[in-house]
Amino acid sequence: MQKPTSKPTTHNALSATELKTLRLKANEIRRWVIEMVFSAKSGHIGGALSIADVLSVLYFKELNVDPKNPNWDGRDRLALSKGHASAAYYAALALRGFFPKEELLTFRKINSKLQGHAYKGVPGVDVSTGSLGQGICVSLGMALAAKMDGKKHRVYAIIGDGECDEGSVWEAALNAPFRKLDNLTVILDRNEFQNDGSMYNILDTGSMEDKFSSFGWNVISIDGHDMQQIVDAIEEAREAKSKPSVIVAHTIKGKGVSFMENNGSFHGKPPTEDEFEKAIAELDEARSKI
Amino acid sequence: MNVESQRVAYGEELAKLGEKYKDLVVLDADLSTSTHTYMFGNKYPDRFFNLGIDEQNMMGMAAGLALSGKLVFASTFAIFATGRAYDLVRQSIAYNRANVKIVVTHAGLTLGEDGATHQMLEDISLMCGLPGMTVIAPADAPETRRVIHAVTEMDGPCYVRLSREKVPSILEDRQFKIGKGIIVEDGADVSIFSTGITLNIALQAREELKKTGVSAAVLHMPTIKPIDKEMIITSAKKTGRVITVEEHSIYGGLGSRIAEVLGENYPARLQRIAVRDKFGESGKGWELLEKYGISSNEIVRHANEMMG
C-alpha cells in the first residue's frame, strides 16, 4: 500500500458537528451503494466505497451546486470519469436532494434514469461517462469554456486508479497545465485495484504524485478517507494559480465493509444475501459510533 | 468551371462565421495547416485551440466545451477523428448529444500519396452507426460553405466529410438543406447516386452514356444520415435502375444506405461502386480512384449492363 507523500495544511479546521455530518453522509452513501448493488444484483461496489468520503465532502461541503436548479449556470461542474462508481455518485446526489432517495433502488433496472454508468439524464450529473479515460478530457473542455467566459465556477473530475492505464488520461494530463487550467481539480481515487485485481499484479503505475508533478500539475497527496485532509486538499487546489491541481487520494477499495476492503473480487460483483446482511450490519454499527 | 479546394472553403467559411457566432470555438489536433482551420485561428486566436496530436483528448474537450454552451468545431483527418478517437466521439459527444461539429478532411482514397494508413474508407459507416449523428459529405467547395453554415444553425452532433483534392465547383448555384438530396441532372433510364467529391465522376459518366442514347439521372446525396428516402424511391420508380458511387468502403456507405432504402421500400436493380474490402495505397488521388474502380468507366459499364 502506498502512503500519501505529504499532508495538506489545515486552514479551516472542521468543527465536530461538521466532521460528524460528513462521516454520517459517507456512511449513508456506502449503505446505499450496498443496497443499490444488491437490489440490482449488479454493479461496482469496491470503487464506489473507496470514493464515498470524497463524495461526501464534495456534496456536503465544497461543491457549489443547487439541487433545486441542477442546470444553474454558475454551478461547479463534476465529471465522474470513473463512471462505474455511479452507485456512490447517485446516492450522494439523492442525499443532497437532487432527486428522491426512493429512486435509488431503480439503479441498473429497466426504465430507470439511473443507468449502470453515470448518466447525464440524472439531475445533477453534468456528463455521461463510463468508458474510461474520457471524463477527464471532458472536464478540460468545461474548464477551458469557463476560462474563456471569465466564469468563476470550478470544474472537478474524479478519475480511477486503473483508469490511469488509459492513454487519453495522459493526453489530458499534458494539455491541462499547458493551458493553465487552474480552475480544474482532478481527484484520483488511488485504491491500487483494477478490474482484474491488484494493480501490482497487472500494471504497477508507480508514483502518481511524481507522474502528475512531472507533467506540470499542482499535486496534493492525501489520505482519501480523512475528511479534514480531503477538505484541506480541495481548498488548497482552489487557491492554486496558473496550474491545474490533482489530489491523489490514497484510498482503500471496498472501504467501510471489512471483508470487501482490499478485496478485488468486489470490483464488479454483487454481494450474496449473507454478504449483504453482514455489510449492512457493519455499516450500521459504524454509524452508531460516529 | 472553377476548381477549388473544400478545405480552403471550410477555413474561409469558419473565419467568416466567427464574426456572427461569438460562441464558436475551433479545435484542431496539429493538422490545422492541412484542414485549414488555421484561417479561423489567425482571425480569432482566443477561440482557436491547436491541442497537439491528441485526437481522443480533443473529442473529449470538444464535448466539455459544447456542454458548457460553446458551438464547437473539431477538425483533423477523417482517419484520426473517426478511427483513433471513435470511442470518445461515441460516448462523450454522441451519447451526451454534445453540440460538436466534427469536420474532417483527407477522407477516402484521394488523400493520395500518404497511402492506406491515412486513407479512411469506413468513416461513413462508423458515424452513421451512432445514434443522433448527422453525416454529410459535400461535393465541392461552394457546397462545403453552405454545409458549414447549415451545421452551425443545427443543434446536435454532426460529421462533415471533406476531401483533400481540389474539385470542380459543380454546385455553385444549388441550395443545400440537411437531409435533402439534389437532382443535379434528370434522366429516364438509370439513376446514378453519388456522395462527396465523386459527383463529377457521375456527371462524366452521364455525358458518356448520353452518346449511346442512355439517359442517366445524377443525384447527389450530401446528407447520408438522415438519408433522403423519398428522392431515392422516386428516382428508382422512374428509372428502375440504380447505381451508387462513393470513395468509401462497400460496407456501410452510401451504397449500403441506398440498398437498405430500396430493399425495404422499392426493390430495384442496384449496382454499388465503392472500395471492395481493400485497403488503399500510395498514388495520386484521381489515379487511385480509377485503379479502385471508382470511375466514370465503371459507371458506364454497369449502366450498359443494366440496360442489357
Minimum CA–CA partner of A125 in chain B: B96
pLDDT for the residue numbered B106: 98
Check if B71 contacts A (Cβ < 8 Å). Answer: no
Would you mind telling me the total number of residues written for chain B in this entry?
308
User: Is the Cβ–Cβ distance between B78 and B106 less than 8 Å?
Assistant: yes
pLDDT, averaged across chain B: 98
Which residues, other chains included, contact A23 with Cβ-Cβ below 8 Å and sequence gap of 6+? A56, A227, A290
Q: How confident is the model at residue B236 (pLDDT cuts 50, 70, 90)?
A: very high
Architecture in CATH of B3-168: 3-Layer(aba) Sandwich (3.40)
Contact at 8 Å (CB) between B191 and B217? yes
B65:A77 CB<8 A: no
**What does each of the 290 residues of chain A score in pLDDT, given as a tens digit?**
899 998 899 999 999 999 999 999 999 999 999 999 999 999 999 999 999 999 999 999 999 999 999 999 999 999 999 999 999 999 999 999 999 999 999 999 999 999 999 999 999 999 999 999 999 999 999 999 999 999 999 999 999 999 999 999 999 999 999 999 999 999 999 999 999 999 999 999 999 999 999 999 999 999 999 999 999 999 999 999 999 999 999 999 999 999 999 998 888 889 999 999 999 999 999 999 99
pLDDT at A1: 80
CATH number for the domain including A247?
3.40.50.970
Cβ within 8 Å, pair B92-A77: no
Architecture of domain B182-307: 3-Layer(aba) Sandwich (3.40)
B52 min Cα distance to partner chain A (Å): 8
* Contact (CB, 8 A) for A125 and A94: no
DSSP string of chain A?
----SS-PPPSSPPPHHHHHHHHHHHHHHHHHHHHHHHHHT----HHHHTTHHHHHHIIIII----TTSTT-TTSPEEEESSGGGHHHHHHHHHHTTSS-GGGGGGTTSTT-S--SS--TTSTT--S---STT-HHHHHHHHHHHHHHTT----EEEEEETGGGGSHHHHHHHHHHHHTT-TTEEEEEEE-SEETTEEHHHH-----HHHHHHHTT-EEEEEETT-HHHHHHHHHHHHH--SS-EEEEEE--TTTTSGGGTT-GGGSS-PPPHHHHHHHHHHHHHHHHH-
* A79 in any annotated domain: yes
Phi, psi at A82, each rounded to 5° = -85, 75
Of B65, B67, B92, the CB nearest to A134: B92
Contacts of B52 in chain A (CB under 8 A): 171, 174-175
* Closest chain A residue to B70, measured at CA: A145
Q: How confident is the model at residue B6 (pLDDT cuts 50, 70, 90)?
A: very high
Which residues in A lie closer than 8 A to residue B68 (C-beta atoms)? Answer: 77, 141-142, 145-146, 149
Separation in Å, CA of A71 to nearest CA in chain B = 11
Residues of B carrying an active site annotation:
55
Q: Contact A167/B56, CB-based, under 8 Å?
A: yes
B51, B56, B64 member nearest A168 (Cβ): B56
Can you tell me which residue has the cell 468486489?
A266
Q: What is the ipTM of this complex?
A: 0.96
Domain containing A170: what range? 16-289
Total domains, chain A: 1
Judge whether A1 lies within some domain.
no
- B16's enclosing H/E stretch is helix B6-20
In a domain, A10, yes or no: no
By the CB < 8 Å criterion, does A127 face chain B? yes
Q: Is the pLDDT of residue B48 over 90?
A: yes
Residue A246 lies in a domain: yes
Quick one: pLDDT band at residue B298, thresholds 50, 70, 90? very high
- Other Cβ atoms less than 10 A from the Cβ of B84: the count is 19
Interchain contact, B54 vs A174, CB within 8 Å: yes
Question: Minimal CA–CA distance to B124: which of B150, B158, B91, B92?
Answer: B158
In chain A, residues with a C-beta closer than 8 Å to the C-beta of B95 are 128
Residue ranges of the domains in chain B?
3-168, 182-307
Report chain B residues whose CB lies below 8 A from the CB of A142: 64-65, 67-68
Asked if the structure places residue A9 within a domain, the reply is no
Rounded average pLDDT over B279-291: 97
Q: Which residues contact B97 (CB under 8 A, 6 or more apart)?
A: B132, B156, B157
Contact criterion met (CB < 8 Å) for B52 and A137: no
Instruction: Indicate yes or no: CB of B25 within 8 angstroms of CB of A148.
Output: yes
For residue A76, tell me if it sits in a domain.
Answer: yes
Contact A137 B88 (CB under 8 A): yes
Does a structural domain hold residue A230?
yes
> In a mutagenesis test of the B interface, which of A134, A174, A178 is the best target, namely the one with the most B β-carbons within 10 Å?
A134
> Cell 449496382, residue?
B271
In this prediction, residues B190-205 reach a mean pLDDT of: 98
Q: How far apart are alpha carbons A47 and B7 in whole angstroms?
A: 46
With a CB cutoff of 8 Å and minimum separation 6, the contacts of B67 are: A126, A127, A138, A141, A142, B96, B98
Q: Checking DSSP bridges between strand B241-249 and strand B269-275, what pairing results, if any? A: parallel
> Has residue A232 been placed in a domain?
yes
Residue identified by cell 474510461 is A132
